[in-house]
Amino acid sequence: MASRGLEVDLSALVERPRLEILYAFQAIWLDGGYAWHGTRRLQSVVDALARTGAGSLLDEPVIEGGWAGELYRRLRTTVERLLADPERELSLDVWRLVVLRPDGAGKTIDYTPITQPWLRELVKQWNRQRLVSRCVGNLQLGVRVAVELSGVLALRTIGAMIPARWTPGRG
């Protein structure tokens, strides 16, 4: 189905992807100030979604490469951010920054290499406080330093345990 001028025909989609596209379009191009590349490209994405019978933009990726894949990923990321629960994301050991920061698309912070649970939680608390005020590279650097410390502590059996008098937040 081809685009008709300035309109995009969403009628081939079920309700959820239709609403997701409308939300993402508004958030990206109207509110976000991004340049619009034309209705034909958006119509191509809509047609591909309709052919696959996708019930949501968040289903398994249905459009992989080229400009249509890029536009699909942009729409999908916007919807993912809308529906995500930041508190749940912060409780995980791998943070998907797309959920937590507007500039976080495709970036993660992985705390799993920190083997001591108390150290992992301490670094997560520290990064949580710095999440909006620091660049992603600084957050990841803090984790890399903690991973190195974790490795050293793992060499000592006493270092792997929680310090007897240490309490989070009290220093």
> Would you kindly state where each structural domain of the chain is located, as residue ranges?
15-83, 86-160
The pLDDT-based confidence of 105 (bands split at 50, 70, 90) is: confident
Q: What angle do CA 32, 35, 38 make, to 5 degrees?
A: 120
pLDDT, averaged across the chain: 83
Closest CA to 142 of 100, 150, 155: 150
Q: What percent of the chain has pLDDT over 70?
A: 83
Q: Is pLDDT of 120 > 60?
A: yes
Core vs surface per residue 21-38: b (16+ CB within 10 A) or e:
bebbbebbeeeeeeeeee
Q: What values do phi and psi take at 5, rounded to 5?
A: 70, -120
Is residue 48 within a helix (H) or strand (E), and if so which, with residue range? helix 39-52
Structure-model confidence comparison of residues 29 and 124, the more confident one:
124
**pLDDT value of position 29:** 77
Q: How far from chain centre, in Å, is Cα 69?
A: 17
19 is written with which tokens?
Answer: 């609403």
Using CA atoms, how far apart are residues 50 and 128, in angstroms rounded to an integer? 40
The pLDDT-based confidence of 141 (bands split at 50, 70, 90) is: very high
Q: What values do phi and psi take at 96, rounded to 5?
A: -90, 110
Highest mean pLDDT among 10-14, 61-65, 110-114: 110-114
